[in-house]
């Protein structure tokens, strides 16, 4: 997990200047306004009838402000660059990476949703592969920001499609939303499943069904 916030109150956000054959990564420092975030948390504590000066809450605004910096560390970060390093291997069959864990923040309630992502892709004749850990970085980059699960799923699929140019990509995300278990319908244990298919997995139902069987076969 991102630990930058433990070191410093500001985080270095990376923005990527994408060029086709010469990828330039330009780090852009963006100050997170900790003081303002702390003021807002203090204000919220008062709004819910708490006393921010009582002992247990004294450090809460600063702590919460730092936490937000950390959980949103992917906000201005283009994680696609994790896929810019590719390699060729003698393999033209489907690759599936299952159960990549992630934590994200629902942008409607600012509450966490957590789960796993599964990424399958079929490299083309010009097929490019990426390292397995890069897929985890990709998922992390798109999840550490205010998100909705549907967008998270399609952003991962689009990044795979754009960066690796495969014959097909299928992304399945399963998550539990605390905004559904803590409040509203209050159904703990309910999982929301979203999928995004590109290329052959979008156009060919049988290929898609085969990959889905792999993903669900556990
Ligand atoms: Zn929500």
Which pLDDT score is estimated for 32?
Answer: 66
Q: Domain residue spans in the chain?
A: 4-71, 79-216
37-58: per-residue pLDDT in tens? Answer: 999 999 999 999 999 999 999 9
Hey, what's the torsion of the CAs at 47, 53, 55, 56, to 10 degrees?
30
Cα separation of 121 and 178, whole Å? Answer: 30
For the beta carbon of residue 204, count every other beta carbon within 10 angstroms: 14
108-143: per-residue pLDDT in tens? Answer: 999 999 999 999 999 977 668 888 889 999 999 999
Cα separation of 69 and 152, whole Å? Answer: 19
Distance 117 CA to ligand 1 centre (A): 18
Q: Are 106 and 147 in contact (CB under 8 A)?
A: yes
Q: Kindly report the backbone phi and psi dihedral angles of residue 63, in degrees, each rounded to the nearest multiple of 5, phi listed first.
A: -65, -45
Q: Which CATH topology does 4-71 take?
A: GTP Cyclohydrolase I; Chain A, domain 1 (1.10.286)
Instruction: Detail the DSSP E strand segments found in 50-205.
Output: 86-87, 95-106, 111-122, 129-130, 146-147, 168-177, 192-199
Q: Are 139 and 98 in contact (CB under 8 A)?
A: no
Distance 24 CA to ligand 1 centre (A): 36
On the question of pLDDT at 100 being above 70, the answer is yes
DSSP for residue 56: G
Q: What is the pTM of this model?
A: 0.81
Lowest mean pLDDT among 40-44, 66-70, 75-79, 199-203: 75-79
Give the residue numbers marked as catalytic: 106-109, 149, 177, 179
Which pLDDT score is estimated for 31?
Answer: 52
On the question of pLDDT at 7 being above 50, the answer is no
On the question of pLDDT at 64 being above 60, the answer is yes
Q: Are 169 and 117 in contact (CB under 8 A)?
A: no
Distance 163 CA to ligand 1 centre (A): 30
DSSP for residue 125: T
Q: Are 141 and 74 in contact (CB under 8 A)?
A: yes
On the question of pLDDT at 14 being above 90, the answer is no
CATH of 79-216 given 3.30.1130.10, 3.30.460.10, 3.30.360.10, 3.40.50.720? 3.30.1130.10
Which pLDDT score is estimated for 13?
Answer: 30
Distance 131 CA to ligand 1 centre (A): 32
Q: Are 104 and 33 in contact (CB under 8 A)?
A: no
């Amino acid at each position: 997990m991102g630990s930058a916030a433990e070191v410093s109150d500001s985080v270095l956000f990376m923005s990527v200047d994408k060029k086709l054959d010469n990828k330039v990564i330009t780090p852009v420092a963006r100050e997170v306004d900790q003081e303002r975030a702390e003021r807002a948390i203090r204000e919220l504590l008062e709004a819910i009838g708490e006393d921010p000066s009582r002992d247990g809450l004294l450090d809460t605004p600063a702590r919460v402000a730092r936490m937000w910096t950390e959980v949103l560390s992917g906000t201005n970060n283009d994680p696609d660059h994790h896929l810019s390093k590719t390699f060729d291997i003698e393999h033209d069959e489907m690759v599936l990476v299952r159960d990549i864990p992630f934590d994200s923040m629902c942008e409607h309630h600012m509450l966490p949703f957590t789960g796993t992502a599964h990424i399958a892709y079929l490299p083309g004749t010009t097929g490019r592969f990426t390292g397995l850990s890069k897929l985890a970085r990709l998922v992390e980059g798109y999840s550490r920001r205010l998100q909705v699960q549907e967008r998270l799923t399609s952003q991962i699929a689009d990044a795979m499609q754009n960066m690796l140019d495969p014959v097909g990509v299928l992304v399945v995300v399963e998550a539990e939303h605390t905004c559904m278990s803590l409040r509203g319908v209050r159904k703990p244990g309910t999982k929301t499943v979203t999928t995004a298919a590109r290329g052959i997995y979008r156009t060919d139902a049988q290929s898609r069904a085969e990959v889905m069987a792999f993903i669900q076969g556990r």
